Amino acid sequence: MYGCETWSPTQREEHRLQVFQNRVLRRIIGSKREDDGAWRKLHNDELKNMYSSPSIVRVIKSRRMRWAGHVACMDGTRGVHRVLVGNPEGKRPLGRPRRRCEDNLRRDLWEIGIEQNRVRWRALVNSVMNLRVP
């Protein structure tokens, strides 16, 4: 999770992270014994009910929003601020453009339905933890 504030994961990568988290939780929690004595794996819904912490994708989104709030408050001469809001020069490769950090931030804001406001930013970071992630 180190440096996840700057990750720009695709939906496929987010899904793979969720699958990994479920696999680890199944290994930690173990199997469930049925009434007839047979063992079975826990379903995803059962894992979500047993594991009270937010999913890994929610944590990444929350950290990304918190980091963006810090960068937005920085002076425009700072390197991090210039990289986040800057426009690179040169030719772009063929094909669909990769998702940028800015694109992810806009999508997260759109999912919550909120505009950028410093007073509500901390509440926004906390509300990202409660997003429904497919």
- The residue ranges of every structural domain in the chain are 4-86+99-128
Mean pLDDT of 107-122: 69
Mean pLDDT of 48-69: 84
List Cα–Cα distances, 73 to 51, 66, 101, in angstroms.
35, 11, 17
- d(CA 72, CA 14) in angstroms, rounded, equals 25
Q: Is-above-0.85 flag for pTM?
A: no
**Among 21, 4, 6, CA closest to 133:** 21
In three-state secondary structure terms, 126 is helix
- d(CA 118, CA 124) in angstroms, rounded, equals 10
State pLDDT tens for residues 1-41.
788 887 888 889 999 999 999 999 888 888 887 878 788 88
The pLDDT score that the predictor gives to residue 19 is 93
Mean pLDDT of 112-119: 64
